[in-house]
Amino acid sequence: MIAVLQRVIEASVRVDGEVIGQIGTGLLVLLCAEKGDTEAVADKMLAKMLKLRIFSDNAGKMNLSVQDVAGGLLLVSQFTLAADVSSGTRPGFSGAAAPDDARRLYDYFVAQAQKAHPVVQTGRFAADMKVALVNDGPITIPMRMTA
C-alpha cells in the first residue's frame, strides 16, 4: 500500500463542482492499494499514519501526531501512485490492485480510520476529483507498507 501524506492547514475534494470532503488542519492522504495488499497491510499503514510525529510542538519541533493535534484526515484514493515510469514515456499501472480489490481495501481503510479517529473525510473512489490544499510547511511524506 502506498500513501502520500501532506500536512495541511486546509484541504478539500470536489466532484462535479460539489465539495464532498474537507478538513482544516490535518493530513491529506492520497492512498493506493497495490496487488497483494491485505487488510493487515491497511491496518499497519493506518496505525503508523495516526502516530507519525509530523506536526510541530510549541518549540517548533515535529513531535506531535495528527491525533495529538486533533487534526482531520482527508482520505483520497489515487491508483496513479502505483505508476511505473521505468520505461517509455507512458506510465504503467500494472502494480495497482484491481479495481474491485482496490475499492474493498479503500473502503476498509476508511472504515478503520473512522473507528480510530474522530475527523475523517473522503474523496469518492474512481471519481474525477479536484483536490485543493494548503500544504503546511510544506511537509509531504511518502509511505509504503507491505505485508
Just list the catalytic residues. 78-80
The residue written with cell numbers 501532506 in the block is 6
Name the packing angle between helices 39-51 and 99-116 (round to 10°).
40
Task: Determine how β-strand 120-122 pairs with β-strand 72-77.
Answer: parallel
Alpha-carbon distance 27 to 29, whole Å? 6
